[in-house]
Amino acid sequence: MSNDVALRARFLADVVDRECEHLAYTTHRLFPSQKAVTEEQVTEWTRDPELAERLDAGREYAPQLIAMARTLVAETRRRA
């Protein structure tokens, strides 16, 4: 792997690491008392307007995060 490709791959890995940290932080903020989302929690979301609003706001960013992850993976594979 050339030095440019290695630098680009390291940069992309750093971006993915930061996004993982952001997603973990968001998950912890939304579900501070749980390590995993349960079926009961999902049912409760429909009954909790404040939580539903926070989840809906987060949902707006999900397609952007997915698109970025797909781009990063594709770019990393292309350059490897």
pLDDT, tens digit (0-9, with 9 covering 90-100), for 27-36 = 777 777 766 6
Residue spans per domain, the chain = 3-79
pTM of model > 0.95: no
Residues 44 and 52: their CA atoms lie apart, in Å, by 9
In the structure encoding, which two tokens stand for residue 24, read together? 């973990």
pLDDT, tens digit (0-9, with 9 covering 90-100), for 6-15 = 888 888 888 8
The number of angstroms, rounded, from the C-alpha of 56 to the middle of its chain's C-alpha atoms is 15
What integer pLDDT is reported at residue 27 of this predicted model? 73
Residues 48 and 20: their CA atoms lie apart, in Å, by 27
H-run or E-run covering 66: helix 62-79
The residues near 30 (Cβ < 8 Å, ≥ 6 apart) are: 51, 54, 55, 58
